[in-house]
Chains A and B, each alone.
Chain A
Amino acid sequence: MTQENQQEFWRWTESSWKNPDMDWKDAGFVTVGIDVGSVSSQACIMADGKIYAFANMRTGSDSPASARNALENALKTTDMPEERVDYCVGTGYGRVNVPFADRAVTEIACHARGANFIYGPAVRTVLDVGGQDIKAISCDEKGRVTHFLMNDKCAAGTGRGMEVFADLLGVSINEVGDRSFQYQGPEPDAVSSTCVVYARSEATGLLRKGWTTEKVLAAYCRAMAERIFALLERLGVEPGFGVTGGMAKNRGVMDRLTAMIRLEPMRTAWDVQVAGAVGAALFGHALCRRGKGRKR
C-alpha cells in the first residue's frame, strides 16, 4: 500500500493544534505522550493533565524519527521549549523506539486511560481494533485496567484482515461499511471461516456461485463482527462501551457488532485516534505526581 492509500484508509490528515486558553508557563507538570502507530503517530502535550497541544502525523519508515516528528509538530504550535517537559511516555507499535521517552507503556494501559479521558469515567469496556491487533480491555472509573485480552497474532478482525478482503473484492476500505449494507436480500450468514486466508477462498467460491460483492461483504463483515464479539464475550462486556482504534470507523463491522453486544458505543467529540497519546501523557502526569518527573 502506498503512503497515500494509507492516508486515505484512515481518512485523516496531518494536523497539529494548541489550546488557545492555556499557557505552559502556568503549568505545574508538563507531560508528553507519544503514540507511534504503524500508519500514524500522535504527540500529546499536557499541562497538569489537560491537553495543551497535539499533533497527528504520518508514520515514516523510522520509528524514532516518526516520534520526534510528531513531538516537533506539537511543540511548533507553542513557544514552549522541549526542556520544559517533566515526563514523556511512549506507546504504540513503535513504543520501544521513542528514544526520548522516560518510559514505554503498552497501548492497553494507554487506551484505557485515554478512553476514560475521551469518553468520561462511565466507560468500563474498551475495544481497540487497530491495523494489526485487537484488544479488549475492562477498566474502572479512573481508567485503570482491570482485565485485558490481547491479540496481535491473528489477522482476523484486524484492519489488515479487512484490507485483504477489500483488495479481493476491489472495494476501497472506506466503502466497505456502506456497501456491506447495500445487499437487498436478508442478511447472509457469516462466512464459515474465521481465518482470513480460508475466508478469502470461501469468498472466491461465493462470487463464482453468483454472490454479489455487497452480499460477500455482508457475510465477511458479519464474520469479523462475530469474531470480535467472541473475544469481548470472553472478557465480559460491561456498559459503557467505548471503541478506539481505526476500525471504529468501519461501520460494516461496528454496526453488526453493536447489534450483537446490544450496547450502543459511547460517543465522543474527540477523534478516537488520540486515545493512545492522551493516555500516555496522563500516565506521565500520574508518575510526576509520584515524584518521578525529570530533574530540571
Chain B
Amino acid sequence: MITAGIDCGAKNTKTIIMKDGQILGRGKVLTGFDQNRSITASWQAALKEAGLEEGDVERRCGTGSGKDCIRNAGLVNDIKAMAKGAKYFFPKVRTVTDVGAEEARAVKMDDDGSVVDFAVNEKCAAGAGAFIEAMARALEVGLEEMGLLCLRSDREIPMNAQCVIFAESEVVGLIHARTGKPDISKAIHDAMAGRIVSMIRRVGVNEDLVMVGGVARNPGFVEAMKRELKIDRIHIPEAPEYGAAVGAAVAAAEKA
C-alpha cells in the first residue's frame, strides 16, 4: 500500500511517500507563517517526485509542531515518529536523537522498537537548531559554511552564554577580540553539542546512536557530538531531516 507521512516542523514541512517500505518521493518546503500552504506544497512536491496522484495514496499520517493543520490524516506524536523513522533506517537502533530547528528530542527504544523513555529540549532556542542558525547570522556566514568552518579548528573555547540572545553578543565580542571564525564556529557547535548530549544522557545512550533531523546535516555539529559522547560514529540516514516524516509514513502503513 502507498502511504504518506507529513512532518510539519517549525522551519520546514517534509513529506515522504512510501510504498511497501520503499520511499517513492520526498517534498520539503519552508513552513513560514502559513502552515496550511506549506503542508499542501510539500505534499504536492512529494507526489510529483513519486509520479503519483493524490488519490493513489491510501493513508496519510501527520506529525510535527504543526500537525493539527494536517487534514485527512491520522496523527502520530513526534516521539513515535522519530522512533519509527530511525528504526526504518537502522533496525537495530536503541537510542535516537532528533535535532530540529526549534526542538530536540532523545528516545530510548527496546528490542521491539517500542519507546521506553524519552527526553525533550523544548521552548528554549539554545537547545535546538535555532541556536546555530542565529550564531551563523552573528558570524555573517551561511548555515552550510557554518558547519564546515567548525571542522577547521581544534581550539576549545567554552561559551559563557547559554541563551541565543546573550550568545549573539558573546560572538560579537569574540569577533572584536579577533578570534577566528573557525574557532568561534567550533565554540558554538561544542556548546550546542553539550546541551544535546546532556539531554540524550537522560535516557541513556548506547554506542549506536542514530541522529535524525535537519541539524544532522551539519558536519561540524556531528563531529562535536562525537567528541562530547566520546564515540567514533553516529548513524545518520540520508536526508536525515525526513526522519520523522518517514516514521509517520511507516505509522500510516501500520494502521492499515
Contacts and interface: CB of A to CB of B under 8 A. Distances in A.
A283 to B, nearest CB: 26
Interface string B101-139: 010000000000000000000011100001000100000
A155 B124 CA distance: 11
Given A205-B33, A208-B33, A198 B163 contact: no
A123 to B, nearest CB: 29
Contacts of A205: 33
A64 B170 CA distance: 20
Nearest to A205: B33
A197 B125 contact: yes
A85 interface: no
A210 to B, nearest CB: 12
Contacts of A193: 123
Given A205-B33, A208-B33, A196 B165 contact: yes
A132 B102 contact: no
Interface string B143-187: 000000000000000000011111001000000000000000000
Contacts of A153: 162-163, 166
Contacts of A22: none
Given A197-B130, A197-B134, A198-B102, A160 B165 contact: yes
A118 B169 CA distance: 33
Best-surrounded residue of B134, B163, B166 (most CB of chain A within 10 A): B163
A155 B102 contact: no
A161 interface: yes
Chain A interface size, under 10 / 10 to 19 / 20 to 34 / 35 or more: 10 to 19
B123 A155 contact: no
Nearest to B133: A197
A205 B32 CA distance: 9
Chain B interface size, under 10 / 10 to 19 / 20 to 34 / 35 or more: 10 to 19
A154 interface: yes
Best-surrounded residue of A154, A164, A193, A194 (most CB of chain B within 10 A): A154
A169 interface: no
Nearest to B162: A153
A208 B134 CA distance: 22
Given A205-B33, A208-B33, A197 B164 contact: yes
Contacts of B125: 195, 197-198
Contact of A195 (B33, B123, B162, B169): B123
Contacts of A194: 123
A132 B166 contact: yes
A154 B33 contact: no
Interface string A193-214: 1111110000011001000000
B92 to A, nearest CB: 36
Contact of A198 (B33, B123, B169): B123
Contact of A197 (B33, B165, B169): B165
A161 B123 contact: no
Contacts of B166: 132, 153, 155, 160
A161 B33 contact: no
A195 B127 CA distance: 11
Interface string A261-279: 0000000000000000000
Contacts of A132: 166
Contacts of B164: 155, 196-197
Interface string B4-44: 00000000000000000000000000000100000000000
25 contacts: A132-B166, A153-B162, A153-B163, A153-B166, A154-B163, A155-B163, A155-B165, A155-B166, A160-B166, A161-B165, A164-B165, A195-B123, A195-B124, A195-B125, A196-B164, A196-B165, A197-B125, A197-B130, A197-B134, A197-B164, A198-B102, A198-B123, A204-B33, A205-B33, A208-B33
Interface of A: 132, 153-155, 160-161, 164, 193-198, 204-205, 208
